């Protein structure tokens, strides 16, 4: 939120409106084909082909039907949803959604179809959960308000702090603490990692306070942050 006013985008959540499901691309195995040759021809890995087809070995047979691209679900953009929301609910990154849909910016529109790579998403979700949950990090902390210079009052995840001054929110570097994480901040309490900032880099956080004086009183201090989920 600090440093910029963010554009928010709309996408459908898992429980939202789902459009047509695009079938996975399939090929018919020919004599002399191997998993490696097929993977090279379709620019995927052997592991991906095996996962897509539930293969326990590298053995394939002529006339066998093999999927060579994951099934991609299509979501219908809804008003007031965000790319961050769909990324969080599906366990993927905003960068991946933009890559899969060839988006140059975060800006999308109602009724637009957003493709989601379900195979990649499920794998990333598991890995991210294993890496982040239960971790405790020591960070340098500062504080801010919804009315600080350059602040829009709306967090990266869409929380309007001017309308909801009692929200417990921190700004983070998503590479250290994933956006959307529930955390416990020493001296602050339970909060949500709902924001980012141009000055937040690495093991640093910015803590939201509704009153300017409280933020000033916080100053700069090193605290421990426990990532709950």
Are 104 and 152 contained in the same domain?
Answer: no
Q: Are residues 206 and 155 in the same domain?
A: yes
Q: Is residue 18 part of a domain?
A: no
Residue 14 lies in a domain: no
In-domain check, residue 20: no
pTM attached to this predicted model: 0.45
Is residue 6 domain-resident? Answer: no
Which pairing describes strands 204-208 and 136-144: parallel, antiparallel, or unpaired?
parallel
126 plus 46 within the same structural domain: no
- Residue 141, both tokens: 């902390």
On whether residue 213 sits in a domain, the answer given is yes
Domain that holds residue 116: 72-131
Same domain? 89 vs 169: no
Residue 79, in any domain of the structure: yes
Q: Which residue has the tokens 């339970």?
A: 190
CATH number at 60 reads 3.10.350.10
Q: Report the number of distinct structural domains present in the chain.
A: 3
Range picked from 16-25, 99-108, 130-139, 207-216 for highest mean pLDDT: 207-216
Q: How many residues does the chain have?
A: 229
pLDDT digits (tens, 9 = 90+) for 113-129: 887 764 444 444 444 54
CA 106, 109, 115, 120 torsion: positive or negative?
Answer: positive
Residue with tokens 């409280």: 214
User: Number of helices and strands (H, E) in the chain?
Assistant: 6, 10
**Beta-carbon neighbour count of residue 140 at 10 Å?**
15
- Of 222 and 132, the structure prediction assigns the larger pLDDT to 222
Mean pLDDT of the chain: 77
Q: pLDDT per residue over 147-156, tens digit each?
A: 987 788 899 8
């Amino acid at each position: 939120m600090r440093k910029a006013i963010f554009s928010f985008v709309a996408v459908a959540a898992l429980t939202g409106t789902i459009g047509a499901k695009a079938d996975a691309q399939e090929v018919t195995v020919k004599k002399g084909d191997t998993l490696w040759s097929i993977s090279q021809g379709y620019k995927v890995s052997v592991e991906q082909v095996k996962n897509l087809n539930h293969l326990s070995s590298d053995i394939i047979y002529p006339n066998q039907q093999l999927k060579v691209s994951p099934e991609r679900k299509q979501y219908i953009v809804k008003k007031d949803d965000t790319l961050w929301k769909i990324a969080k609910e599906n366990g993927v990154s905003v960068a991946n959604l933009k890559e899969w849909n060839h988006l140059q910016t975060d800006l999308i529109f109602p009724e637009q179809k957003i493709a989601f790579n379900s195979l990649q998403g499920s794998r990333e979700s598991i890995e991210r959960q294993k890496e982040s949950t239960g971790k405790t990090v020591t960070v340098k902390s500062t504080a801010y308000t919804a009315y600080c210079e350059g602040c829009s009052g709306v967090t990266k995840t869409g929380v309007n702090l001017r309308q909801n001054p009692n929200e417990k929110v921190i700004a983070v570097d998503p590479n250290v603490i994933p956006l959307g994480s529930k955390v416990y901040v020493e001296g602050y309490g339970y909060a949500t990692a709902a924001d980012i900032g141009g000055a937040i880099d690495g093991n640093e956080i910015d803590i939201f306070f509704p009153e300017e004086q409280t933020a000033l009183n916080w100053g700069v201090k090193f605290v421990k942050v426990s990532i709950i989920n």
